Homo-oligomer: A and B are copies of this chain.
Amino acid sequence: MQKPAFVSDYMEGAHPAILQRLLETNLEKTAGYGYDEYSEAARKKIREACGAPDADVFFLAGGTQTNAVMIDSILRPYQGVIAVTTGHIAGHEAGAIEYGGHKVLVAEQTDGKVSAESIDRILRGYAEDENHEHMVMPGMVYLSQPTEYGTLYSLAELQAISGVCKEHHIPLYLDGARLAYALACPANDVTLRDLAALCDAFYIGGTKCGALFGEAVVIPRHDYIPHLFTIIKQHGALLAKGRVAGIQFDTLFTDGLYERLGKTAIEAADRIRRALAEKGYREAFPSPTNQIFVALNEKQLAALSERAELAFWEKREDGDTVMRIATSWATTPEDADRLIACL
């Protein structure tokens, strides 16, 4: 029998409603490249969910691709993007941002988050440095919600960051690869409408949130990035059968599915968190969403690795190993219990 597997939130296929819809529409003929009616319907529903009637919406295949395309299209070629040292683009995208010619300007993080003050300090530091003409100009801010550490920006924090960005006239972009797990989290107070109001661009993650694949970029102001269609094509990111992404997001944004989808993941994660605490395990850092980071000593690590599949996160200086437990929209209470039984 297979060990309980909590390695990541992209281990399953798609939400059943998505597959059902793909089946129903399979032999219809539609236009390519996102000009089909399903993509258009999905865009309309996303605009409504975001309260952004003029938003441009594009569907791409994956997260790194989306980050690379968006950062490259927002920045001028001589600019860099501010991100926390632990940001996905800073460490785990194999240099995709630098491949586009841009430096990732790292900011300090606390629990995976950057503060408005820290961004302000970087921007002022650049402006006041007498040598700044010889330096990479910060041209945008990259955040993710939830962060790489599963933590959440509060609305107040996001508003402060957005304020600093506006003050310095630089765009704010948010990576929502796991956004469904933020939206479904009781601790969260940031809605899609807030994101559309505060960000110049963000993406709503599909791959990790119920889709076979796909991310929906939302750009609240129409034509904020001219010729983005061509830029997407230039980056090899344009889907010929755009409808496949369109149908998925149309389904995810029908009757609020996307906003409900993460609920089971959060409930399963909370169930596991309680069990961990009861059994004396320590969380490496607190995270309220679908990812749990647990610090294990050597003995715990050996025992647990034998009984369950978790993801290696990092080796700590104190010798402990941090492992990640990720639940998903498909995790059942029974799945959680099987893992708990291994603790």
With A94-B234, A241-B213 already in contact, the answer to whether A10 and B26 are too (CB < 8 A) is no
Chain B nearest Cβ from A105, distance in angstroms: 10
Of B76, B133, B136, which one neighbours A229 at CB under 8 angstroms?
B133
Is A32 a contact of B10 with CB atoms below 8 Å?
A: yes
With A78-B230, A94-B230, A103-B98 already in contact, the answer to whether A62 and B239 are too (CB < 8 A) is yes
CB-CB contacts of A57-98 with B at 8 A, as 1s and 0s?
000011111111100110011101000000000011111101
Residues of chain B within 8 A (CB-CB) of A255 are: none
Is B234 a contact of A95 with CB atoms below 8 Å?
A: yes
Instruction: Across the interface, name the chain B residue whose C-beta is closest to A231.
Output: B78
Please report the C-alpha to C-alpha distance between residue A16 and residue B45 in the assembled complex, in whole angstroms.
Answer: 28
A102 at the interface (CB under 8 A from B): yes
Chain A: how many interface residues by the 8 Å CB criterion? Answer: 76
CB within 8 Å of B: which A186-234 residues = 207-208, 212-213, 227, 229-231, 233-234
Residues of chain B within 8 A (CB-CB) of A135 are: 91-92, 94, 230
Is A137 a contact of B227 with CB atoms below 8 Å?
A: yes
Residues of chain B within 8 A (CB-CB) of A98 are: 80, 98, 101-103, 136
A50 at the interface (CB under 8 A from B): no
CB within 8 Å of B: which A16-73 residues = 16, 19, 22-23, 25-32, 61-69, 72-73
With A229-B133, A240-B207 already in contact, the answer to whether A32 and B11 are too (CB < 8 A) is yes
Is B102 a contact of A95 with CB atoms below 8 Å?
A: yes
Please report the C-alpha to C-alpha distance between residue A135 and residue B99 in the assembled complex, in whole angstroms.
Answer: 13
With A93-B134, A240-B62 already in contact, the answer to whether A27 and B10 are too (CB < 8 A) is no
Residues of chain B within 8 A (CB-CB) of A72 are: 77
Chain B nearest Cβ from A263, distance in angstroms: 18
A330 at the interface (CB under 8 A from B): yes
Residues of chain B within 8 A (CB-CB) of A95 are: 78, 80, 101-103, 136, 234
Residues of chain B within 8 A (CB-CB) of A170 are: none
Instruction: Across the interface, name the chain B residue whose C-beta is closest to A101.
Output: B99
Residues of chain B within 8 A (CB-CB) of A28 are: 12-13
Please report the C-alpha to C-alpha distance between residue A26 and residue B133 in the assembled complex, in whole angstroms.
Answer: 27
CB-CB contacts of A134-145 with B at 8 A, as 1s and 0s?
111100000000
Is B63 a contact of A240 with CB atoms below 8 Å?
A: yes
Is A26 a contact of B16 with CB atoms below 8 Å?
A: yes
Residues of chain B within 8 A (CB-CB) of A96 are: 233-236
Please report the C-alpha to C-alpha distance between residue A69 and residue B22 in the assembled complex, in whole angstroms.
Answer: 29
Residues of chain B within 8 A (CB-CB) of A26 are: 12-14, 16, 19
CB within 8 Å of B: which A100-146 residues = 101-104, 130-131, 133-137
Closest 5 CB pairs of A and B: A65-B236, A13-B26, A94-B233, A95-B136, A94-B234
The 16 listed contacts between A and B (C-beta, < 8 Å) are A10-B240, A11-B30, A12-B28, A13-B241, A19-B22, A19-B23, A61-B62, A73-B77, A80-B95, A94-B136, A98-B101, A99-B101, A134-B230, A213-B213, A213-B239, A236-B237
A13-B28, A212-B244, A213-B241 given; name 13 further pairs at CB < 8 Å.
A5-B29, A8-B32, A13-B241, A19-B22, A61-B62, A61-B213, A62-B238, A67-B236, A72-B77, A80-B95, A93-B233, A93-B236, A236-B237
